Amino acid sequence: MKFIDLFAGLGGFHVGLRDLGHECVFACERNETLAKLYEQNFGIKCGGDIKDIEAIDIPKHDILCAGFPCQPFSKAGKQEGFEDKQNGTYFIKDIVRILEYHKPKYIILENVPHLKKQDNMHTWEVISKKLKKLGYDIDSTNLSPHQFGIPQIRGRLFIVGIRGPEGSLDYFGWPSEKDRSTLDIRNILDKRPNGAKRLSENQIKCIDLWQKIINAIPKDTQILSPLWSMEFGANYPFEETTPAYCKVDELGRYRGVFGKKLKGFSKKKQYKFLPSYANRKQRKFPDWKRDFIRENRKFYKENKKVLKPFIKELSQLPPSWQKLEWNCLDSKRNIKDYIIQFRASGVRVKRTNYAPALVLTSTQIPIVGWEERYITTREAARLQSLETIELPDSQRFALRALGNAVNAKVVSLVGKQLILNSKQVKPMTAKIMRWEGRY
């Protein structure tokens, strides 16, 4: 069958459907570098921004694929949805007009899971109603590569649809998950690859400091996560009020980060001695923040003898490095045995069974702790099932593009269930096979 690849990026949809034997007849990508690379990889010259392309100029096709921009619908963004004039209207204006004109039999769309919750579910209501009005029977679910043998947790919303005389998804079933017990990111990593970006001296010192702290914590004491070391020795008010609503003299009776006395300073100066999350003008902290503060102060009080000697060194770290997110439960307490990220929320340490999701933010690139290096673009491509294509020359740009890509294997699995089975399996037979676990 023939398909079109809108918002093509690195070509995750292309690779996924090509592997099933389908033919791409049109692609568009507004980023010029990615558009040229798409042509290099697949021999198809990309159109630019779909906003500037008339539906009549798009070839006839059986399948429309679109991983439309997710920024307006992501929890990490402003959540403007359709009100985002730059990226929020692609579905309601462009995807819809192409569907209206060409009426392809199948659709496969991809976006962030939060799209269904955005704007009190109004966004999803609009999308589903428009697709149904166009004659599509639709289904949707969240899928992640780690469900299918790929060691990356990356939840994404997939929306599929079928229209026409046999326009019912009664036959359809989402791909079956695989056993996850043997998943390990080590299986896709190269051993000390040439050109891999190394950790800086300061990053290594930070990891070594946190390792010393972990070693000092009694073995029978569970490591608190997140550990906010700036709360060690602090006692500023946080339960019923916040520092922002305390007068200077009142706040002067307390201590800020690492036990710093706040007495004798102006309010502006006092703010400098408070954690960044505590000096914002809000009358009351949210419950989760109060819980974290309370738990960290309790942890420090119970382990003060072993933690206090590290306060001076911790105070000299950048603020985000003063926090540790230990996501390894009761596993071996050796940070460099794991995957590490230097995030705004802290130094995150994760077990090696799954890599964290590749994202656009370069500061969240996974770090291979035992080799003190960042993952390479080729390794990241394996996490997106795109190891067979050429990548951008710039490592930073390549990782950003991979963070914005759709996983090709997940596309292939969804496409197989949607397209091949609709032709080869009668609806009732498909249901029986799913019930028996053979499909």
User: Cα torsion at 119, 120, 123, 128 (round to 10°)?
Assistant: 180
3-state secondary structure 238-250: CCCCCHHHCCHHH
**Can you say whether residue 81 is alpha, beta or left, with left for phi > 0 and alpha for psi between -120 and 50 degrees?**
left
Separation CA 319–CA 308 (nearest Å): 18
Tell the burial category of 366 from Cβ atoms under 10 Å away from its Cβ (0-12, 13-18, 19+).
buried
CA dist 404 and 406 (Å) reads 7
Cβ atoms of 189 and 379 within 8 Å: the answer is yes
Structure tokens at 212: 């010393």
Distance CA 163, CA 166 (A): 7
Q: Is the dihedral of CA 13, 15, 21, 25 positive or negative?
A: positive
Q: Which helix (H) or strand (E) holds 2?
A: strand 2-6
Burial of 45 (0-12, 13-18, 19+ CB in 10 A): exposed
Please give the structure tokens belonging to residue 367.
Answer: 């770090």
Three-state DSSP class for 82? helix
Question: Using CA atoms, how far apart are residues 1 and 242, in angstroms rounded to an integer?
Answer: 61
Cis peptide before 243 (omega within 30 of 0): no
Catalytic annotation on 70?
yes
Place of tokens 């999701």: 357
Can you tell me whether residue 112 is helix, strand or coil?
Answer: coil
Active-site residue identified among 24, 70, 206, 328: 70
- Residue 275 and residue 228 in contact, taking contact as beta carbons nearer than 8 Å: yes
Sequence letter at residue 332: K
On whether the CB atoms of residues 413 and 148 are closer than 8 A, the answer is yes
CA pair distance 150, 400, nearest whole angstrom: 19
- Strand order across the beta sheet in which 156-162 lies: 23-27, 2-6, 63-66, 106-111, 156-162, 137-143
Q: Which residues are catalytic?
A: 70
